[in-house]
Structure 1
Amino acid sequence: MTELHSSKDSEHRSGRDDSRLDSLNVRKLVAPRNRSIETLSKLSLFLRFLKPVTWIPVMWSFLCGAVASGSFGWKDLGGSKFLLAMLLTGPLATGTCQMLNDYFDRDLDEINEPNRPIPGGAISLKNATILIAVWSILSVIAGYLIHPLIGFYVVIGIINAHLYSANPVKLKKRLWAGNIIVALSYLIIPWIAGEIAYNPAVTLSSLWPSIIAAALFTLASTGTMTINDFKSVEGDRLVGIRTLPAVFGETNAAIIAAVLINLGQLLAAGYLLLIGKNIHALIVAALVIPQFLLQFSLVRSPKTMDVRYNAIAQNFLVAGMLVSALAIKAIKP
C-alpha cells in the first residue's frame, strides 16, 4: 500500500513538473537533445553560434554611415575596404557579441531555448571560450585595418556585450538599460564607423548630423529590441530578468515599443526638416505609416506577432535610415 501511494505521489509530482516545463516552453517547443544538433557539420554549428540573422542591422548601419560621409559611391561596394567592413560588422564583431551573449546566458537558455549550441551540449564551454577569444582578436585587427579609431570602437562594442550579458552588471535584466546598450552598439557605433572609414579627416562638427540621426533611430531601435524580448518572457520572469514584457506585461510592452519605434523615426523626419531636406523628411515620415498599421496586430497578440512584425516592419525602418543618410550626404560640402 505504501509503495502504491509512493508511486501515485511520484506520478503526481512528475505531472506537475511536466506541466511546469510545458508552461516554460510555450513559446518554443524543442525536440529531444539526441536530435539533429549532433549531426550538424562543424561549419553549420559554428554559423548557428554566430547567428547570421543578427549581422544585417549592424552591416546596414555601417553602410548608412558610409553613405552619409559623402565619399562613398557605387564603385566602393566592391572595394577591399567595404568588403573588410562587411566582414567586421557581420560575422566578426557581431558574431563575437552573439557568442558572448550565448555564453553568459547559457543558464537562461536552458529554459527559453535549450536547443542552442551551448545548453544543447554541442559546444563545450572550453571551446566556446576559445572561439570568443580568437574572434575578438580578429575583430579588433579588422577594425584597426580599416581605421585605428574603428578598432577602438570594436573594443567598446565587445565591452558593451559583456555589460549586457555578464554578471554582476548584466544590463539586460535592468529594464531599459539592456535595450539601449544593444541599440547603441547596433546603430550609432557602426554608423559613425562608416563615416570615419570613408572620410578619415572627419571632425566632430561634421559628424553631428550623423550622430543626431543615428541617435534618433537608436531610440526607434530600442523599441524593436523590446519586441525581441517577447520570445523569452517566461524564462526572464523565472530568473528575474527585468525586460519590459516581463515587468509590464506583453500588451503594455508592445504599446511602449510601438511608441518608441514611431517617435524615433518621426523625430528623425523632423530633424531632416530642420536641415532643409524636406523631401527626405516626408519619405521618412511616410515610412512610419505601414509600421503603425502593423502595430495594431502586434499589440493584440505580441507573442505570436513579434517575429512577423519585425520581419515586415523592420524593412521600412531601415529604409528610413538610408533615406536619412542620403539627406546628410546631400548637405555635405
Structure 2
Amino acid sequence: MATPAPSAVVELLKPITWFAPMWAFACGVVSSGYPASGQWPVIAAGVLLAGPLVCATSQAANDWFDREVDAINEPGRPIPSGRIPGRWGLYLAAGWTALSLLVAAALGPWILGAAAFGLTLAWIYSAPPVRLKRNGWWGNAAVALCYEGLPWFTGAAVMAAALPDRRVLGLALLYSLGAHGIMTLNDFKSVEGDRRMGVASLPVQLGVARAARFACWVMALPQAAVVALLVHWDRPWHAALVAGLLAGQLALMARFLRDPRGRAAWYNGTGTTLYVLGMLAAAFALRPLVQGGL
C-alpha cells in the first residue's frame, strides 16, 4: 500500500493550528503562580502535548471524517487530493491519540484526565454517530474548550501538580466561551459545502450576517466579564490593559461586520491576536493572587 510523504503528514496535522492551545497552555503556566525554574522539561512536554500531539490529533481526525466535505470546499487538502492515500488519515489520527495519552500519563493524573477528555471531544466532534461538528452550537463549544480552556487548565495543573485555583479555572472557562465566537469565524469560508453536506454551522443556521454579529458578542462579553473580575480582585492595571485590547477588537469588529465572509480571515489575524494578548495579561494578573493564596 502506498505511504504518504512526510510533507503531506505535516500538512494533515496543520501546525498553524497548534499556536492557540500552546499559547493557552503557557497562560495556564503563568497563571499558576509557580516559578518556571526547574520545571522547564515538564513545561516543554506540556507544550508538546497541547499542540503537536492533542491538537494535531484533532486535525487528523477532523480531516479524515471531513474528507467528503473537503472534496467540495478544499479539494487540495491531503486526503481528498490523494496525497494521504487509503486509510492512512485514520491510522495517523489513532496513532497520535495513543502517543498523546502516553505523554499525558507521564505528566500526572490531572493532565492525563484533561488530555483524555480533550481527545474524546476531538473524536466525537468529527466522528459519527455523534459528530458534534454537524451543529455549530455544540461543535464550536467543543473546539473552543479544547483550544483554550483545557490547555489553560493543563498548564496550571502541570505546575501545581494538583487542581488549579478556582480563579484560574474561572478565567480559563471565560476565555473558552469567547473562543466559541472565534470558531465561528472559521465557518464562513465553507458555507456552500456545509449546506450541501448537512453541516449546520452557525452561518448556515443563522445566515452570514446574524452569525457574524453573534460571534462578535460571544467574543466580547466574556472579556468584559474578565475585566470586571480583575477589578474585583484589585488588579486595576491588568483590567485596564484587557479593556484596552477589547476596545481594539470592537473597532476591528465594526469593519469585519461590513463583510463577514470576505474579512473573517483578516479578523482572525488581527482581532484574535488582541484576544490572546488579553489572555496573557489576565494570566499575569493572577500570579500574585494565587501565590498569596488570597
Q: Give TM-score, length-normalised by structure 1.
A: 0.83
Q: Deviations over 1:111-141 (max 9, x none)?
A: 1111111111111242222212221111111
Shift of 1:293: 0.9
2:111 maps to which of 147, 150, 154 = 150
> Partners of 1:72 and 1:61 in 2: how far apart?
17
Higher RCO (Cα < 8 Å, 6 or more apart): 2
CA deviation after TM superposition for structure 1 residue 76, in Å? 5.9
Q: Give 2:245's aligned residue.
A: 287
- Unaligned ranges ≥5, structure 1: 1-37
- Please give the root-mean-square deviation of Cα atoms over the aligned residues, in Å: 1.6
Distance in 2, Cα, partners of 1:306 & 1:312: 10
CA displacement at 1:98 relative to structure 2: 0.4
Percent identical pairs in the alignment equals 37
Q: Which residue of 1 aligns with 2:159?
A: 198
Q: 2-side partners of 1:199 and 1:159: how far apart?
A: 24
- Counterparts of 1:137 and 1:175, CA distance in 2: 28
**171, 183, 198: which one aligns with 2:144:** 183
Kindly report structure 1 stretches of 4+ aligned residues shifted beyond 6 Å.
Answer: none
2:264 maps to a residue whose letter is D
Distance (Å, rounded) in 2 between the aligned partners of 1:105 and 1:140 = 24
Of 268, 271, 278 in structure 1, the residue corresponding to residue 229 of structure 2 is 271
Query: How far apart, in 2, do the equivalents of 1:124 and 1:312 lie?
Result: 36
Residue number in structure 2 paired with 1:62: 25
Equivalent residue letter for 1:173: R
The match for 1:252 is 210
Determine which of 245, 261, 264 is the counterpart of 2:219.
261
Equivalenced residue count is 289
In structure 2, distance between residues paired with 1:213 and 1:152: 20
User: Residues 230 and 59 (structure 1 numbering): CA distance in 2 closer, same or farther, change over 3 Å?
Assistant: same
Q: Does 1:311 align with 2:269?
A: yes
The equivalent of 2:16 in structure 1 is: 53
User: Structure 2 CA distance, aligned partners of 1:158 and 1:146?
Assistant: 16
How far apart in 2 are the matches of 1:314 and 1:175? Answer: 19
Partner residue, 2:285: 327
Tell me if structure 2 keeps the 8 A contact 1:103–1:125.
no
Contact 2:63–2:89 under 8 Å retained in 1: no
Distance in 2 of aligned mates of 1:114 and 1:223: 26
State yes or no: 1:301 paired with 2:259. yes
The separation in 2 between residues aligned to 1:291 and 1:101, in whole angstroms, is: 29
Q: Which runs of 5+ in 2 are unaligned?
A: none
